[in-house]
Structure 1
Amino acid sequence: MALLVIAVSAAIHAAVGFGINLLAVPVLLVLDSAYVPGPALVAGLFLSVLMAGREFGSFDYRLGWAILGLLPGTALALGLLAVVPQDALGVPLGLLVLVAVGLSALRWKPSPTRPALLVAGTASGFLATAASIGGPPMALLYASAEGARLRSTLSVFFVAASILSISSLAAVGRLGPEELKVSAAFLPAVAAGFVLAGPLRRIVDRGHARPAVLVLSAVAAVGAVVESLLRG
């Protein structure tokens, strides 16, 4: 079941540019808490590397500004979590993402300028750490881009973000031999999803990238709100 969840989530991610963690992690947590966060992050990193290699030439070379924002965003979230329980953050942060999705649906189209990239990268690092919904800020920024540029740019960004997260887990002893064994078992399912994403990718590339980003971002936000309410 876990492999099927990974494969389906990877296929959707490979077609749109993000989504494997926001779709797979809630189900993986129900199946076995050992699947999260380490193995899920390794699966996401592997998929991002595959995608970045496939469409590498299409990514936005200004992306370094967004990657630069990851560190302060992560640090800010860690500081907030030191004084505010994580369960209390899911609802307000999820609603904040829903507001951004609603504005984007109403034709608000932010441009990926250097300041905007820095802000989006910071927001992504913050939301990923505080509420596990780090994808929407960057995805919404590139929602109007053509499919290959959207996927390539997000993939390179997620490679950097995943390496940061995985390194942090390893440093605190939460990514040891057992987690690596589970991670290795996930990789064939990730590869299968990547290969099977072709038909979905062609649909996205027919002008449906923006709706797909809005839907996935809304799903991520609603999921964060529901999860927070259930924990509470």
Structure 2
Amino acid sequence: MLILGAMLQNSIGFGLGLLCAPIFMHFAPELVPATMILNSLFVTSLVCYKNKASIQLCNFSFATFGGVIGIFAAGATAAFVAPEIYRLIFGVIILSAVALSVKGFNFKIKPSSSILAGAASGFMGTLTSAGGAPMGLLYQNSQQKLIKANLNAFFVIINLLGLISLYIANLVTMQDFVNSLYCIPALIIGWYAAAWVKFNDKSNRLKNFILSITAFAGVSILFS
């Protein structure tokens, strides 16, 4: 599963957390969220460095600002709201956004939408280690190189801040770091396997794939 997730992250710009975290919640809960955030930090750093020339600093900055807000909101939510409640809310929101996209609604990349998508991704990523869906929906109509660069630059910062917030809350242990080291070989295999996956910016394959992965994440969050 980690191989496939890393392959998605390197080929379309996101997918590692969305694919793996819901499954690990059921079968290996000790890997969520801290170990999966460490795994995501490793892969997103590689993708970000590879595509750094396509980072749009303005949109990235607004998204990161929103992400910081989302991380703080996640800390407050974890303290006062039952997990099944916020998972229900975000699962419904994600699936509603997917439905709007299928119907032809376009999410335009601008400061306000970048802040909102960043906040939602920071919130979800900190609580579930699967925060790619909102940012993926925002960039669904962008060129592949822009998706990879801007989403993964955002994820590097958000993963770092999310990890720090979890550490402050005593939710990160040395075992999480050990577990992440065991995952690295699978992540590297998936990274190189992405060379076999190609998308044409002029076709709808990439957008449809993004919507499919996002819908899977929404359903998984609802039933995790």
TM-score, structure 1 normalization: 0.88
SS in 2 for 1:110: coil
Residue 149 of structure 1 and its aligned partner are, at CA, apart by: 0.8
Residue 82 of structure 1 and its aligned partner are, at CA, apart by: 3.4
SS in 2 for 1:87: helix
- 1:74-133 deviations in Å (ceiling 9; x for gaps): 223333443321112222321111111111112211221112211211122233345654
Q: Which residue of 2 aligns with 1:213?
A: 210
Unaligned runs of 5+ residues in structure 1 are 228-232
The answer to whether the Cα contact below 8 Å between 1:10 and 1:190 also exists between their aligned partners in 2 is yes
Distance in structure 2 (CA, Å) of the matches to 1:182 and 1:81: 24
Of 161, 174, 177, which aligns to 1:177?
174
Cα gap change, 1:50 to 1:130, in 2 (>3 Å): closer
Q: Which residue of 1 aligns with 2:16?
A: 20
Moved more, 27-36 or 84-93: 27-36
Residue 212 of structure 1 and its aligned partner are, at CA, apart by: 1.3
Distance in structure 2 (CA, Å) of the matches to 1:224 and 1:183: 22
Overall identity of the aligned pairs, in %:
26
Distance in structure 2 (CA, Å) of the matches to 1:163 and 1:193: 22
Matched, 1:154 2:144: no
- Alignment RMSD, CA only? 1.9
Distance in structure 1 (CA, Å) of the matches to 2:103 and 2:22: 29
SS in 2 for 1:203: coil
Distance in structure 2 (CA, Å) of the matches to 1:78 and 1:13: 26
Of 4, 9, 28, which aligns to 1:8?
4
Q: Which residue of 1 aligns with 2:110?
A: 113
Cα gap change, 1:131 to 1:186, in 2 (>3 Å): closer
Residue 222 of structure 1 and its aligned partner are, at CA, apart by: 0.5
Q: Which residue of 2 aligns with 1:199?
A: 196
The answer to whether the Cα contact below 8 Å between 2:21 and 2:130 also exists between their aligned partners in 1 is no
Matched, 1:225 2:222: yes
Q: Which residue of 2 aligns with 1:230?
A: none
Residue 8 of structure 1 and its aligned partner are, at CA, apart by: 1.5
Distance in structure 2 (CA, Å) of the matches to 1:214 and 1:55: 22
SS in 1 for 2:14: coil
The answer to whether the Cα contact below 8 Å between 1:9 and 1:24 also exists between their aligned partners in 2 is yes
Of 98, 112, 118, which aligns to 2:95?
98
Residue 6 of structure 1 and its aligned partner are, at CA, apart by: 1.0
Give the total of aligned pairs.
Answer: 222
SS in 2 for 1:198: helix
Residue 190 of structure 1 and its aligned partner are, at CA, apart by: 0.9
The code of the aligned residue for 2:192 comes to V
